[in-house]
């Protein structure tokens, strides 16, 4: 029962953090015209697309095998781990980039600790496509990145 309560609390906390970060990033990078001109998703849309993949078991993604703690089971768990690392440092950031590739848009979301002695940067990359004004993730394109 405690495990369920912990997971429920963590899920609610992570949802609130993601919502807050998405809003902050959308406000800080409120350049909707440039995103629409080249048909790129906004930062808030990028986070929403990542969260849509949150229940995916990370054991099915070979690049994610060594980037989290032992208790992680899903992409959402890895995301929670990344956020917990950022919360421990005064100088940390989340970087969102997107750029066109052949038939898709490649999104990269990086979680970084700014530390000259011990830099830390992990994240996710995935492809999306725009179908009639709606962004959709490309199945099987999610991978973990990091150093």
Instruction: Say what the pTM is.
Output: 0.72
**Closest to 78 in 3D by CA, of 55, 96, 101:** 55
Name the β-bridge partners of 113. 92, 120
Output the DSSP codes for 54-113: TTSBGGG-GGGTTSS-TT--BHHHHHHHHHHHHHT-SSEEEEEEEEEETTEEEEEEEEEE
Local confidence band at 23 (pLDDT 50, 70, 90 cut-offs): very low
Local confidence band at 118 (pLDDT 50, 70, 90 cut-offs): confident
Q: Which pLDDT score is estimated for 29?
A: 46
Q: Is the pLDDT of residue 28 over 50?
A: no
Domain boundaries, the chain: 2-146
């Amino acid at each position: 029962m405690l495990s369920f309560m912990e997971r429920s609390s963590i899920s609610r906390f992570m949802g609130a953090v993601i919502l807050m970060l998405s809003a902050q990033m959308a406000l800080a990078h409120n350049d909707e015209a440039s995103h629409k001109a080249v048909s790129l998703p906004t930062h808030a849309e990028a986070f929403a697309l990542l969260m849509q993949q949150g229940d995916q078991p990370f054991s099915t993604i070979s690049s994610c095998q060594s980037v989290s703690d032992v208790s992680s089971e899903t992409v959402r768990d890895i995301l929670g781990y990344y956020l917990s690392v950022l919360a421990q440092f005064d100088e940390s950031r989340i970087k969102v980039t997107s750029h066109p590739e052949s038939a898709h848009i490649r999104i990269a979301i990086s979680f970084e600790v700014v530390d000259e002695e011990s830099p830390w940067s992990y994240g996710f990359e995935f492809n999306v496509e725009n179908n009639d004004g709606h962004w959709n993730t490309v199945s099987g394109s999610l991978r973990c990145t990091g150093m």
